[in-house]
Chains A and B, each alone.
Chain A
Amino acid sequence: MTTLSDAEIEALLLSLRVSSVAVLAALPFALAAALLLARRNFPGKILVDAVLHMPLVLPPVAMGYLLLVVFGTRAGLGGWLYETFGIRFVFNWTGAVLAAAILTFPFQMRAIRLSLESVDAGLSDAARSLGARTFDRFRNVTLPLALPGVVAGAITAFAASLGEFGAIITFVSNIPGQTRTLPLAIYTALQTPGGEAAAARLAALSILLALIFMTLAEFAQRRARSFFA
């Protein structure tokens, strides 16, 4: 129970790598979407809002299937990416990243949007009257104040991404060292005769990781509140 096998360590490291890259890759898109929703009003905003939240409620398996349809090597976009740039998502760890990034994107977007909305617009007016232009105000006033919220969103997305299963196994299969992340390793262990002990170890590990990262996220949120205390 105490020591992890090489394969289990491999699954753990792969999970951490997939999740970190997924969170970083989704961050700019989440920031742009959050800015759009927090700061602009336009016709169809409700629909855009709903579409951006889809990954949160769509069955992950359905999302994996959609990814396969769009990014498979024989699909339109996927085929073009493969032939033009040699970028291949299927059966590759980058595919797991893509799936995790899309599925956890709403966590980041929501957290960033909420923290942007909680930054007092009056501070932006004050910065304007002191000579700060649009980007300057965003960079030096709004963003730093929203940052703890952004960080909390990223950590939540990271933790959620560690648990992603359905979309990954559907889109990029279950390949050791490439796409077998922690949840897939647990699933594999359960499929293997006598694998219950391994499954228990990996499950315990998952619980530990979730606890650590949710505590960190809460910590970041409190930091945000302390500005205004």
Chain B
Amino acid sequence: MSVDVRLRHRQGAFVLDVAFESEASGVTALFGPSGAGKTTIVHAIAGLVRPQEGRIAIDGRVLFDSNRNVDVPVEDRRVGLVFQDARLFPHMRVDDNLRFGWRRAKERMSEADIARIVEMLGLGPLLARTPARLSGGEKSRVALGRALLASPSLLLLDEPLAALDAARKAEILPYLERLRDEARVPIFHVSHSVDEVLRLADRVVLLDRGHVAGKGSVFDFAAGEIGQLLPATGAVIDTRLEGHDGGLSLLSFEGGRLAVARMAAPLGSRLRVRIRAEDVLLAREEPRAISANNVLAARIASLRDIGNGQVDVHLACGRARLTARITQASTARLALKPGEMVFAVLKSVILDPRALRGVGALE
């Protein structure tokens, strides 16, 4: 099960030459600065741009192959595309916008599935409105729903948040997280926001000036181990809510347990936490009598000098990875070397905001 993309396309002075394969599940972020070719790639997958050379296949279903003259028309590709600017049909109510692709699908999803998506994206109160009466964030949600109802085999999100201000983005992100967790559609998410990638993606394809500059899991991405474009931003750990202990909730992952402020989410909920590199202290001996709730035993995987007298220490903690950003002086004082055991003291753990609000409680 994979999405296979190989493209060569020249547009004026811009040359796109990419090849990557991605698991057809979860969220793959196509990440890079503007001008990296992200939108051209998703438009080629959708069929709106015809590459000069290449091959595109989803789960072995060939959509485009320049060698064998295969070019499945856009309308037969079953690839959902959510545009930056929503592109809702202004003369149709939200309900008819949502069902536009559904009506034309060869295998229509059931009314129960439609109801589930409407509920997931919070579209119920909007159904009778026209797009002119929706806010920017609401338009994005309707566009997402419209693409999902067409039962796509791959969902392409072309920076659906780029046109929104920070407040609207914060409003939409939780819906995208639910989409990732609940919709069984593989998603390619085009983004140039590190924050979005860390919150949403399972894996990352890093693009730079028309080329693939690196690829790997979001954990590699957070640790700054994909390409040379970015320093580490910290760590992403997928956890499960295991239980509560007084004012704390306990989150378990392969390699340890984290304690965070008590939350309302039900036991077993999947929660992604982020730990900034600046928020990790290192100690040689297990610190006792310390205010931090989380101290993890970890093995030093590697050290990377990032300049300005700072060093990123990459740590393995079971299967999870952490990065600590400390000074060169501290590195020397503690004589840190790869392979050695240290204790990581976490000053703070960042949680998805929806977990704190308990919205994750929805089935």
Interfacial residues, chain A to chain B (CB-CB below 8 A): 120, 122-123, 125-133, 136, 141, 144-145, 226-229
Q: Is there contact, CB below 8 Å, between A130 and B150?
A: yes
- Whether the Cβ atoms of B75 and A133 lie closer than 8 Å is yes
- Neighbour of A131 across the interface among B75, B83, B85, B91, CB < 8 A: B75
- Smallest CB-CB separation from A131: which chain B residue? B104
Instruction: Confirm or deny: B46 has a beta carbon within 8 angstroms of a beta carbon on chain A.
Output: yes
Q: Are A145 and B90 in contact (CB under 8 A)?
A: yes
A-B complex: 4 closest residue pairs judged by Cβ atoms: A130-B101, A131-B104, A126-B87, A128-B74
Q: Does B175 contact A (CB under 8 A)?
A: no
With known contacts A128-B74, A130-B104, A131-B150, A227–B132 Cβ distance under 8 A: yes
- Are B104 and A129 in contact, CB atoms less than 8 angstroms apart? no
Contact with A along B107-146 (1 / 0, CB 8 A): 0000000000000000000000000100000000000001
Which residues of chain B are within 8 angstroms of A129 by Cβ–Cβ distance?
A: 46-48, 74-75, 77, 79-81, 101, 147
Name the interface residues of B83-110: CB closer than 8 Å to any CB of A: 83, 85, 87, 89-91, 100-101, 104-105
A125: nearest residue on chain B (CB-CB)?
A: B48
Q: What are 21 A-B pairs at a CB distance below 8 A?
A: A122-B83, A123-B87, A125-B74, A126-B89, A128-B48, A128-B75, A129-B80, A129-B81, A130-B75, A130-B100, A130-B104, A131-B75, A131-B76, A131-B78, A131-B104, A131-B150, A132-B75, A132-B104, A136-B104, A145-B91, A227-B90
How distant is the Cα of A132 from the Cα of B100 in the complex, in angstroms? 9
Q: Give the residues in chain A near B90, CB-CB below 8 Å.
A: 123, 145, 227-228
The interface residues of chain B lying within 8 Å CB-to-CB of A136 are 104
CA gap between A130 and B180 in the complex, in Å: 21
Majority-rule SS of A interface residues: helix
Contact present for A126 and B83 (CB under 8 Å): yes
A130-B146, A132-B75, A228-B90 known; 18 other A-B pairs, CB under 8 Å? Answer: A122-B85, A122-B87, A123-B87, A123-B89, A126-B81, A126-B87, A128-B74, A129-B79, A129-B101, A130-B80, A130-B100, A130-B101, A130-B150, A131-B76, A141-B89, A145-B91, A227-B91, A227-B132
Residues of chain A lying within 8 A (CB to CB) of residue B46: 129
Within the complex, what minimum Cβ distance (angstroms) separates B131 from chain A? 9
Q: Smallest distance from the beta carbon of A119 to chain B beta carbons, Å?
A: 10
Closest CB in chain B relative to A179 CB, distance in Å: 41
Docked-complex contact A127 and B100, CB < 8 angstroms: yes
| B101 and A131 within 8 A (CB) | yes
Which residues of B64-83 are within 8 A (CB) of A? 74-81, 83
Contacts of B85 in A (CB 8 A): 122
Q: Inside 8 A of B76's CB, which chain A residues have their CB?
A: 131
Q: Which A residues are in CB contact (< 8 Å) with B47?
A: 128-129
Q: Which residues of A contact B78 (CB under 8 A)?
A: 131
Instruction: Check A131–B89 contact: CB distance below 8 A.
Output: no
Report the minimum CB–CB distance from A144 to chain B (whole Å).
5
CA–CA, A35 and B75, complex, Å: 22
